[in-house]
Structure 1
Amino acid sequence: MIKTIFLSLLLICFFNTLNVRAADSGPPPQIIQKTNPSYAEAKALVKSKKFDKAVVMLEELLKDSKNSSNPDILNDYAYSLRNLKQYDKAEKFYLDALKINPKHIGANEYLGELYLLTKRPEEAKKRLEVLKPCNCEEYKELKEKIEKYK
């Protein structure tokens, strides 16, 4: 009996770990660099807050069908658009990323932030609920922003 319970708990932990990994925002940067150097360059522009240049580069990447179904690229594009205050367009691309991967951590957090910027806190709370199982930094950040919004 104890052996069965222990084995069950072990399996639950294992599958929860897989689920959290599936919600991650993609492969590590060194893999991106090797497999898609243009995306790595665009991501560097995003990180350095050069959103106007990042948008141009990400738009080019999205013309390729393999990139247009990559939720990480869609998320970075939406994030850049949001930072350029192109909220409607950003929302569309966040939603596109979430159609591909509904548990995408970055897209859920950033879409929640967009909802706060556009005065839709109830929608932001829905994104927070999606992030809740991961108990990750993105969840904590969005939760804090929602609490400050009130």
Structure 2
Amino acid sequence: MKQIVLICGLISSLALASGGGGPAPQSSANQTSQQLIEVERLVKAQQWTAAEAQLKALRVRASDQADVWNWSGYVARKSGRLSEAFPYYERALQINPRHLGAHEYLGEAYLQVGDVGHAQAQLDILRTLCGQCEEAEDLAVEISKSKP
């Protein structure tokens, strides 16, 4: 029995020592996640053009990811391209109807065009989904600021 354990240990050591010719390739999901982290960094720095360039590639390669479309809407809205933002948020919500950030930011976009009713509808959805979560509270504050 000791010999079997010893042999298994040696084989494992040899397998580890042989390496694999470099790091394993990143999975598509991991690569998308890393790019979204970079997009968030660019957004925080208000580097809209660079963020949009990253998102443009992601919309092709990871078109099934709600976060890609939500960030696309956010960047479009903050860049002054409000008409582009709405379809991006809607696409995010088609992919994931429970995407809290997309509901919040869509509500904020509605406020920017003076549509308090649709913003309130997004807040109502958020309250149903998450109660008093951060996204709901942030949108509620923005709605209260928009009322006379």
Partner residue of 2:83 out of 70, 88, 99: 88
User: Does residue 130 of the first structure (1) align with residue 128 of the second (2)?
Assistant: no
Contact 1:46 1:54 in 2 (8 A): yes
Corresponding position of 1:147: 144
Work out whether 1:58 is the aligned partner of 2:55.
yes
Residue type of the alignment partner of 2:51: A
Residue number in structure 2 paired with 1:43? 40
Q: Report SS of the residue matched to 1:68.
A: coil
Per-residue deviation, 1:39: 2.8
RCO greater where, 1 or 2, for CA within 8 Å and sep 6 or more?
A: 1
1:75 to 46, 50, 70: 70
Structure 1 residues 55-64 or 114-123, which shifts more? Answer: 55-64
3-state SS in 1 of match to 2:46: coil
Moved beyond 6 Å, runs of 4+: none
Matched-pair contact (CA < 8 Å) for 1:33–1:39? no
Which of the numbers 109, 112, 118 marks the counterpart of 1:114? 109
Superposition TM-score, scaled by structure 1 size: 0.73
Distance in 2 between residues matched to 1:41 and 1:144, nearest whole Å: 28
After TM superposition, give the deviation of residue 88 of structure 1 in Å: 0.9
Gaps (5+ residues) in structure 1?
Answer: 1-31
Tell me the SS of whatever aligns to 1:119. Answer: coil
- Matched with 2:100 is 105
Q: Which has the larger radius of gyration?
A: 2
Superposed CA offset, 1:37-71 (max 9, x none): 3332222212222112101110011111xx11100
Counterparts of 2:76 and 2:63, CA distance in 1: 16
Q: Under a length normalisation based on structure 2, what TM-score does the superposition of the two structures give?
A: 0.74
